[in-house]
Amino acid sequence: MNVRTLCLAILNMQDATGYEIKKQCIEGRFQHFVETSFGSIYPALAKLESEKLVTCHTQAQDGKPDRKIYSITDDGRIEFIKAINVMPHPDKFKSEFLLLSMNAEIASRELLEAAIDAQFFQYQGDLEMIEGVLEESDQPALLWTANYGKVTLEAKINYLKNNKEQLLELAGISLTAQAAE
């Protein structure tokens, strides 16, 4: 999947401005699906519009520039259905936090504790966002997906809570041993 499909997915649910789409892709409910950047959304929307898969109309605002609101077209919906009916690639998981954790013996305790706490708070924030989705939606597939995310995040949070001290005990032990030599 790509940014183009992600934009169609968002517009399949509701009309949105480019800013709203960006926000959903980067920090909202669609942030976990496809890797995106601020610079990739508007070119994708422009291409979708040129292909007549989305339309755009402007809405006047008092004292501000007009808002450009995007809508999916019937052809866009057909294209989205085609794109979503393809076997997805395996999930890719990358984590600088886990690289740091794997090398805890040469990391400072302060850094390791700060990284664990930052990871914990990120997961807590993601969990709160997902719980908001669960409260406001009644769409079965969205609820299934949100519950999957919720269970995954709860497991990560519990693991960090229950195993934080175990990792912190490893902090810097190689550095301490080298200093003693």
pLDDT given at position 172:
84
The pLDDT of 109-117, averaged and rounded, is 96
Task: For the chain, give the mean pLDDT.
Answer: 91
Predicted TM-score (pTM) of this structure: 0.79
H helical segments located in the chain: 3-13, 18-26, 38-50, 74-84, 96-102, 109-136, 140-170, 173-180
Q: Which one is predicted more confidently, 61 or 157?
A: 157
Residues 20-79: pLDDT tens digits? 998 888 877 887 787 777 788 889 999 999 999 999 999 888 888 889 999 999 999 999
pLDDT given at position 179:
57
pLDDT given at position 31:
78
- Cβ neighbours around 12 below 10 Å, total: 13
Q: Is the pLDDT of residue 168 over 70?
A: yes
